[in-house]
Amino acid sequence: MRKWIIWATALCAALAVTACGRDEEDHPPIIEMPWMYTPAPAPRETASPTIPIPGFVTGEREEAVIEFWHVSGIAQSDALLETLDAFHAFQPYIRVNEINHGNYAMLAAQIMLGDFSGTLPHVAVASASDVLRYRASLMLLPLDPFVNAPEVGMPREEFDDIFGALRAVGVYDGVRYSLPFTANVRLLFYNRDLITANGFIRAPETWEDLERAARVLTDSGGRRGIGFGGDFDSEWAMLLIRRGGTFFDSVTGRAAFATAEGIRAMESLIHMANGPYAYAAEDSGPLHGAFARGEIAMFFGWSDDIPRVASAVNDAFDWRTARVPESHDSFAAEMTGYDLVMFENVSHGIDARVGAWDFMRFTLQTDAAARWAIANHSVPVTQTALDSLMYSRFFNLNPSARGIHASADNGFFRVRHEMADNIRGILLESMDSMINGGVSAEVGLTQAEERVNALLAEGR
């Protein structure tokens, strides 16, 4: 297990979280978000009053060509082209030229080069760390003037239709810099044939059920009941949040995870990871191969792992996904994803900028959002897309997607932080000492919290 923990220190993530949900009263207390490091935006009804966009004259728009940089596979490209066709029919005076950069590292490199050469696109897909980097370099246009514009802005019902966490993640210091585009969610993958053959009628619904099932599904032939991969800290994050814990103090901004909630969450995870029924990956590789070979009966993964699992299993057995099990009568699943951003570029005229905003907003329309979620095996970013006929058909025809549907309204994102790499590295080093070195959860988390706070103080 040590190998994957050491490898994972190179990954980029952050430690604070925001909760996902449309209306606070519809969700468990966990959605009250006491751990938030960046305040969530208010619903549209309390947002800034409508303000005209400087230089934009309604009714006198000129034709505009928008350049959109993205990363798409075959299925995603087909979905994007369908959305572009629909958008061009809806807004015939705007032409979107899409450029696929193949992978996110290449895309980010081209954007930084474009900033240097003055050739930035109008709109691009950006990861969490990318948004922070572009914002720090003063490359992004704030989106609030577009959201609140009287003619082209988002009506309250349209803004509030976006799931709460997805509304919140694009906001920094009270300013919105991005709109949600893709949202993957953490899921439990399970071998349904093994589950039913051993007397279970459904996937484990609680953390206690998970351990019980893992014990039963482990056999003398080497099969383990549950598998953990290189992003093992996601499970600790989920347990922490479900217990009402937090990563950062919402007032001081200091790390605050070495609490009773954090310690008990870590102890639960250590107990399960070190059990004879658990399989821990020796490196960063995904677990779908071990799952397909029958070496593990269940494992935690991401919704966009579904196509790889389907290819690996190849109808060898019946498998499904479920939302991650509850703990302490509450449910929260980690989400991760990509946003759309608009770049500041003196060569971009006001009509092109408004056209770029029209395109960004169009991606949130029901069919466009549902189509993109289906292509990516991700969570639809709006409630109406989740409830749409298009997504309902996909959901009914694809049992493997049922975990996505069950998780959509109760997820959380880790709030983006400039020191994400360093912070997560500290946590993973501490997890190594606790899981492999015999250090207690209390001592390990306390030391990690002290190191994180020293890092934050040094960076201020």
**pLDDT tens, residue by residue, 407-453:** 887 778 775 676 777 888 898 889 888 887 889 999 999 999 999 99
**Residue 19 confidence (pLDDT):** 42
**At 69, is the secondary structure helix, strand, or coil?**
strand
Handedness of CA 177, 169, 302, 190 (dihedral sign): negative
> Which of the pair, 275 or 291, is modelled with greater confidence?
291
- Residue 359 tokens, joined: 């395109």
Residue ranges per structural domain of the chain: 2-13+188-328+419-459, 18-183+335-415
Backbone angles phi, psi at 68, to 5 degrees: -125, 120
**Distance from first CA to last CA of the chain, Å, rounded?**
35
Please say whether the beta carbons of 342 and 363 come within 8 A.
Answer: no
- Asked if the domains 2-13+188-328+419-459 and 18-183+335-415 are classified in one and the same CATH topology, the answer is yes
CA dist., res. 390 & res. 411, Å (int) = 22
Ranges of H-type helices in 91-230: 104-117, 128-136, 144-147, 156-160, 164-168, 192-197, 207-217
d(CA 239, CA 235): 6
**What mean pLDDT comes out for the span 341-349?**
83
Cβ-Cβ contacts under 8 Å for 17 (sequence gap 6 or more): 35, 36, 237, 241, 247, 334, 412, 413, 414, 415
pLDDT above 60 for 283: no
How would you write 358-419 as a 3-class SS string? HHHHHCCCHHHHHHHHHHHCCCCCEHHHHCCHHHHHHHHHCHHHHHHHHHCCCEEEEECCCC
pLDDT, averaged across the chain: 83
395: pLDDT strictly greater than 70:
yes
- Look at residue 133 in the predicted model and tell me its pLDDT: 87
Pair of tokens at residue 321: 């996904």
Residue among 443, 427, 432 at smallest CA distance from 274:
432
Task: Give the pLDDT of residue 331.
Answer: 73
Classify domain 18-183+335-415 at the CATH topology level. Answer: D-Maltodextrin-Binding Protein; domain 2 (3.40.190)
**pLDDT tens readout for residues 155-195:** 989 999 998 888 888 888 889 999 999 999 999 999 999 99
Q: Is 327 left (phi over 0), alpha (psi -120 to 50) or beta?
A: beta
Virtual torsion, Cα 273, 274, 275, 279, nearest 10 deg: 60
Query: How many CB atoms lie under 10 A from the CB of residue 62?
Result: 10
- Predicted confidence at residue 201, as pLDDT, reads 92
What's the CA gap between 270 and 333, in Å, rounded?
19
Provide CATH code, domain 2-13+188-328+419-459. 3.40.190.10
Name the more confident of 229 and 367.
367
- The answer to whether the beta carbons of residues 19 and 31 sit under 8 Å apart is yes
- How many whole angstroms separate alpha carbon 181 and alpha carbon 45? 23
Spatial distance between the Cα atoms of 162 and 314, rounded to a whole number of angstroms = 35
Asked if pLDDT for residue 57 goes beyond 60, the answer is no
The Cα–Cα gap between 266 and 356 comes to 45
